[in-house]
């Protein structure tokens, strides 16, 4: 059982931040790591990125978007309530070396996951530019937190309600044109966004990392649900990733595999969440 110390609705009813008391995980958590959690005894195991960790306080931060059954149940938990199982930190940490200038691109909830990676880059002395995007201003996350250690935070919204109007890739294109010294780009967000970032940086020859959100069950390399194709080779996102060379990732296959359970997920959500709502 893992206690929820603080809970904040970043976007009401939609995006939630939890600070958990998890000293063992906090002591080991590096940028790029994730946890697998289960909310109740009949529940599914789902992966969520560690958006921040404080080894001294013994806490980790998760930020999640409510998309289905498990995230909806998680959203109901309040401060001082506990999550049944939290396992981690899992995955390989993002490789972070002093390289000079980096750009971290985050889309939607991916901004939270990107936050930990951006912070790691800043800590080794890299100059970090964050580019964050969402449909509209009210869906933006972590802008203030990022501005604490990033040289610059560029905001892009589809409707132009904040920052530049357009996609993060538009902002990225402009930034890279003006800053030829960028050594590395990190992209965390929806598959189409990560694919677009990869296509943008490929001709420029800028090393690019994407964080893949494949479907997972155990998160320990035992099921193969999370298999992704990278450079033509099958890798397991949970133990070989979740971060991979974005130029080598087969994003079409990833997008197709994420659809595996769509109809059942709707059924599960309808059953569990609708019944609870009625109760």
Partner 1 sequence: MDAGVPAMSARKLRPRVPMPMQPPLVRRGNFTEVALGYSLEQAVAEARRCLQCKKPTCQGGCPVEVDCKGFIAHLVHRDVEGAFAVIKRTNSLPAVCGRVCPQEKQCERACKLAPTGEPVAIGRLERFVADTYYASDACASAIAAAKQCRLPREDVRVACVGSGPSSLTAAGFLAALGAQVTVFEGLHEVGGVLVYGIPEFRLPKSIVATEVEHLRRLGVEFRTNWVVGQTVGLTELFHQGYRAVFVGTGAGLPQFLGIPGESLLGVYSANEYLTRVNLMRAYAFPRYDTPLPQGRYVTVIGGGNVAMDAARTALRLGAQEVTVVYRRTQAEMPCRAEELEHALEEGIRVRELLAPVAFEGQDGWLSGLRVERMALGEPDESGRRRPVPTGETEVLATDLCIIGIGTGPNPVLLRATPGLRLNARGYIDVDPTTGETSIPMVFAGGDIVTGAATVVLAMGAGRRAAREIAQRLGLI
Ligand X SMILES: Cc1cc2nc3c(=O)[nH]c(=O)nc-3n(C[C@H](O)[C@H](O)[C@H](O)COP(=O)(O)OP(=O)(O)OC[C@H]3O[C@@H](n4cnc5c(N)ncnc54)[C@H](O)[C@@H]3O)c2cc1C
Please give the residue ranges that form the binding site for ligand X (CB under 6 A): 34, 44, 46-49, 63-65, 67-71, 109, 112-113, 213-216, 242, 258, 262, 265, 269
Cα 82 to Cα 153: distance, rounded to the nearest angstrom: 35
Give the interface size with ligand FES as a residue count (CB under 6 A): 12
* CA 103 vs CA 32, 44, 127, 128, 134: distances in Å: 16, 34, 8, 6, 17
Under the binding rule (CB under 8 A), the answer on residue 279 touching partner 1 is no
Residue in the structure block whose two tokens are 């970090």 = 128
Cα 164 to Cα 156: distance, rounded to the nearest angstrom: 5
Helix, strand, coil shares of the chain as percentages rounded to 5? 30, 35, 35
Residues 162-201 as x/- pattern, contact with partner 1 by CB under 8 A: ----------------------------------------
Q: Which is nearer to ligand X, 157 or 213 (CB)?
A: 213
- Out of 14, 43, 143, 166, which residue is the one contacting partner 1 (CB under 8 A)? 43
Residues 49 to 108 in contact with ligand FES, rule: CB under 6 A: none
Give the binding range for partner 1 (CB under 8 A) out of 8-16, 74-82, 201-209, 265-273.
Answer: 265-273
100 preceded by a cis bond (ω within 30 of 0): no
Cα 155 to Cα 226: distance, rounded to the nearest angstrom: 31
Residues 199 to 218 in contact with ligand FES, rule: CB under 6 A: 216-218
Q: What is the phi/psi pair of residue 185, to 5°? A: -125, 135
Q: By three-state DSSP, how is residue 69 classified?
A: helix
Q: Which is nearer to partner 1, 29 or 172 (CB)?
A: 29
Q: By three-state DSSP, how is residue 259 classified?
A: coil
Closest approach, Cβ 87 to partner 1, in A, equals 4
Under the binding rule (CB under 6 A), the answer on residue 258 touching ligand FES is no
Closest approach, Cβ 144 to ligand FES, in A, equals 34
* CA 257 vs CA 72, 108, 165, 251: distances in Å: 22, 20, 31, 10
Which residue ranges make up the site for ligand FES (CB under 6 A)?
Answer: 216-219, 221-226, 236, 238
Which residue ranges make up the site for partner 1 (CB under 8 A)?
Answer: 24-25, 28, 38, 42-45, 69-70, 84-90, 217-218, 220-225, 227, 229, 234, 239, 253, 256-257, 259-261, 264-265, 267-268, 271-272
């Amino acid at each position: 059982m893992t206690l929820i110390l603080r809970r904040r609705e970043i976007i009401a009813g939609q995006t939630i931040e939890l600070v958990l008391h998890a000293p063992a995980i906090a002591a080991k958590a590096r940028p790029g790591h994730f946890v697998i959690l289960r909310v109740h005894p009949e529940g599914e195991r789902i992966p969520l990125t560690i958006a921040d960790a404080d080894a001294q306080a013994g806490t980790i931060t998760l930020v999640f978007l409510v998309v289905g059954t498990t995230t909806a149940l998680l959203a109901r938990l309040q401060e001082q309530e506990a999550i049944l199982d939290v396992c981690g930190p899992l995955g390989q940490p993002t490789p972070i070396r002093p390289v000079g200038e980096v750009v971290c691109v985050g889309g939607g909830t991916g901004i939270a996951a990107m936050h930990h990676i951006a912070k790691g880059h800043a800590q080794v002395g890299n100059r970090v530019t964050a580019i964050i995007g969402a449909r509209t201003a009210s869906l933006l996350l972590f802008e203030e937190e990022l501005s604490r250690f990033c040289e610059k935070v560029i905001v892009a919204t589809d409707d132009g309600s904040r920052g530049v109007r357009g996609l993060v890739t538009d902002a990225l294109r402009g930034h890279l044109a003006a800053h030829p010294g960028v050594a590395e780009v990190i992209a965390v967000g929806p598959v189409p966004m990560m694919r677009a970032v990869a296509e943008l940086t490929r001709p420029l020859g800028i090393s690019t990392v994407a964080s893949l959100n494949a479907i997972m069950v155990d998160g320990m390399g035992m099921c193969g649900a999370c298999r992704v194709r990278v450079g033509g080779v099958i890798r397991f996102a949970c133990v070989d990733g979740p971060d991979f060379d974005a130029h080598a990732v087969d994003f079409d296959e990833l997008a197709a595999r994420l659809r595996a359970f769509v109809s059942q997920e709707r059924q599960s959500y309808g059953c569990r969440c609708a019944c609870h709502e009625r109760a």
